[in-house]
Structure 1
Amino acid sequence: MYGNASEPLLPTEEPLRELNSSPTNVSSSSCSLNIFDYQFTLIPVLYCIIFILGIVGNSVVVAVLCRHRASKTVASIYLFNLATADLLCLATLPFWAAYYSYGYNWIFGSVMCKVSSSVLSLNMFASIFFITCMSMDRYRAIVHPIRSQRRTLQQASVIALVVWGLACVSSLPTFYFRDTYYIESLGVNACIMAFPNEKYGKWSAGMAWMKNTLGFLVPLIVIATCYTWIRRHLLKAQGFEKNRQKRDRVLKLVAAVVVAFVLCWLPFHILTFLDALVHVGVVNNCDVISVIDAALPFGICLGFANSCINPLLYGFIGNQFQERLHHLFKLRVYQFSNRESSSSRKGSYLKDVETYGNCEKGREPGTAC
């Protein structure tokens, strides 16, 4: 039998609580219900900002990679899937922003509650898993360049399918348990995780610790290990000693990847872990629970912000990606000018573009015209 839907919904039941747990069973808690009104205005605004920036950045990445499918690489396959996962994750933000705006009242129906929650959970896992894959790919390419040449596009595609499969499996509990229930004390139809009442605490804690392990600890260990060995390799490499500026730039990018991952996801997973301790009764101090309730929305926002940072770290900073973006932008400018300019200007501009196109056809990969 599922938990009593008439039980009060704690403010810790955030839109992303399907990544964390579900509303606390207040029958086992002496803490009063604390709802922070600022969440209903501030959080939707933050979600909208993250949504706009993330959609723009990841859409550009997808557009550039689709435009240059002929020069597809293993790294570009992972980058495309990462951007796709981030886009799908960000696409659910308007629903959760509305959920906050209406005071935890889900107005989109039971099906959308289940689908939006499952898509969000699936793509959170997929995004983190693809960041891990890209870190391992960079390790092989820099530390073992000869061995990395054995990588094939088919292998990368199979790995991408496996990653999506693992993400789907990790999200099955969310798809099964997430649903809409009317919370009489608040007068809202909430989108919540409805675990079996008699084993509620164990289910909540188990889900939280699974996400801590699969969604943060394991990826963090792999990412940190890969970039530690990359740093050691670059510091020892004689070729990079001759070009210290280039080496330092690569090392800064390596550090930025690890720091961004930790800063974006560590607060959320710490709060997730503490909330799991609340559900199993290890933490029962009302002040601590109140701090968790107040801090969790911002931890969630930081996790979403990682989807905005990913295009910068894995796309726009790379020289090859910058060349492709410049090429795509130049073609778009030509197409616009071709419609707007006079016939005399068309001929002159067309000649320039044709010259650029001939150069593109004859140049070696990785070189500029």
Structure 2
Amino acid sequence: MNTSWIPPFIYTISALGILLNLLVLLVFLLHKKNCTATEIYLSNMAAADLLLMVFMPFWGVYTANNNFWTFGGPMCKIVSLLMVMNYTSSVYFLVLVCIDRYLALVHPLSHCKLHSRKYAKFGCFLVWCFGFLLNIPTLLCKEYAKNACRWVCSHHVHFAKEFIQTIAAFVIPLLIILFCTVKIVQALRGRPTQAESTQHTEHKATILVLAVLLAFFICWAPFILTRMFELAVRYQIIKQTCAISYYLVICRHVFLNLGFFNSDLNPVLYVLVGKNFRKKMWEVVRSGSLTTPSTQFATSTSTLSSQMIKVNATSLK
């Protein structure tokens, strides 16, 4: 299979993803109002996507060099870990935001108690921890060996890791999200769209969440299904043929990169679908926070850095 298109594609979506997700984080950080619980979940999702985009060029170089790894053993582990952590963390940030919308529309009294920035930050902290713990096998079993970044543990360990990740990072979140989405859609149909104030705000936030959910599953579901089919073939649940092996390689490359494209798509959806985000973005632009004069550039950069450190430190409490 010709893979010459993969490195340019990776470099392109990486550059776009860094710019777009950095814009999202800047808008949430620089806006004068504190983020809502939903926005905390979405900003953490943007942070996960930004981390992926920063490290993806390493994988692009690896592919361009015909799987010859030139960055050493530590970077092999770090890049591999962050790439798989992004998917796991993104799924569970979506689970959190979907549960938040479900409570807001279906159980508003319970939502008032749980819809707080404190609970949102604690939930995000748990997601980051879970994403790391679930992918410890990648950290332990990915090694720089024979000029390649490869899996060095046994096939049984690899199968167990793939099976657990498929259940924990796809099947269970899918069931939760499907349940919440059905209830959300039913609640939206049963309420007037002309409602004002808080209810109207909840509707707009929910529409954005549904758009992000749809984009995520369009981008990632083909790869997950391909991986499940590939595992079935590898362990002789499905009979392997040359044609099946050939098309699995093609599907894995194409659908994996489609999944990576989701990190670029989310910020676009925030602008196109998220009216509240657009409003915040223009307020930040008009306030001059994104276009400070050159004489104030150093000061604003220092302030932004301290704010980001403070937000990260607070979210870990």
The TM-score by the shorter chain falls in which range? 0.7 to 0.9
Give per-residue Cα distances to partners, 1:205-247, cap 9 Å, x unaligned: 222222222222222222222121111111112x33779x999
Shift of residue 55 of structure 1? 1.3
The partner residue of 2:218 within 263, 281, 289 is 263
Within a 5 Å distance, the mapping from 1:41-60 to structure 2 comes to 41-60=4-23
Q: Verify the 8 A CA contact 1:118 1:174 in the aligned structure 2.
A: yes
Q: Which residue of 1 aligns with 2:131?
A: 167
The verdict on how the C-alpha distance between 1:338 and 1:123 changes in structure 2, with shifts beyond 3 A counting, is: closer
Shift of residue 252 of structure 1? 6.3
Give the distance between the partners of 1:227 and 1:280, measured in 2 at CA.
34
Give the distance between the partners of 1:194 and 1:96, measured in 2 at CA.
18
Within a 5 Å distance, the mapping from 1:182-221 to structure 2 comes to 182=146, 189-196=147-154, 200=155, 202-221=156-175
Matched, 1:230 2:193: no
SS of the residue 2:119 aligns to = helix
Q: Which residue of 1 aligns with 2:74?
A: 111
Q: Verify the 8 A CA contact 2:104 2:202 in the aligned structure 1.
A: no
Q: Which residue of 1 aligns with 2:236?
A: 281
The verdict on how the C-alpha distance between 1:265 and 1:85 changes in structure 2, with shifts beyond 3 A counting, is: same
Write the letter of the residue equivalent to 2:126: V
Within a 5 Å distance, the mapping from 1:1-369 to structure 2 comes to 36=1, 38-39=2-3, 41-68=4-31, 70-150=33-113, 151-182=115-146, 189-196=147-154, 200=155, 202-237=156-191, 239-240=192-193, 253=208, 256-282=211-237, 283-314=239-270, 317-332=273-288
Give per-residue Cα distances to partners, 1:256-290, cap 9 Å, x unaligned: 33432221111111111122123323332121011
Give the distance between the partners of 2:264 and 2:294, measured in 1 at CA.
33
Q: Which has the higher helix share?
A: 2
Give the distance between the partners of 1:314 and 1:223, measured in 2 at CA.
20
Shift of residue 70 of structure 1? 4.2
Shift of residue 53 of structure 1? 2.0
Write the letter of the residue equivalent to 2:166: N
Task: Give runs of ≥4 in structure 1 deviating > 6 Å.
Answer: 245-252
Q: Using the aligned pairs only, state the percent identity.
A: 27
Shift of residue 308 of structure 1? 1.3
SS of the residue 2:212 aligns to = helix
SS of the residue 1:71 aligns to = coil
The verdict on how the C-alpha distance between 1:336 and 1:251 changes in structure 2, with shifts beyond 3 A counting, is: closer
Write the letter of the residue equivalent to 1:208: E
Root mean square deviation of aligned Cα? 2.6
The verdict on how the C-alpha distance between 1:247 and 1:324 changes in structure 2, with shifts beyond 3 A counting, is: closer
Q: Which residue of 2 aligns with 1:353?
A: none
List gaps (5 residues or longer) in structure 2: 296-317
The verdict on how the C-alpha distance between 1:96 and 1:64 changes in structure 2, with shifts beyond 3 A counting, is: same
Shift of residue 72 of structure 1? 2.3
The verdict on how the C-alpha distance between 1:139 and 1:69 changes in structure 2, with shifts beyond 3 A counting, is: farther
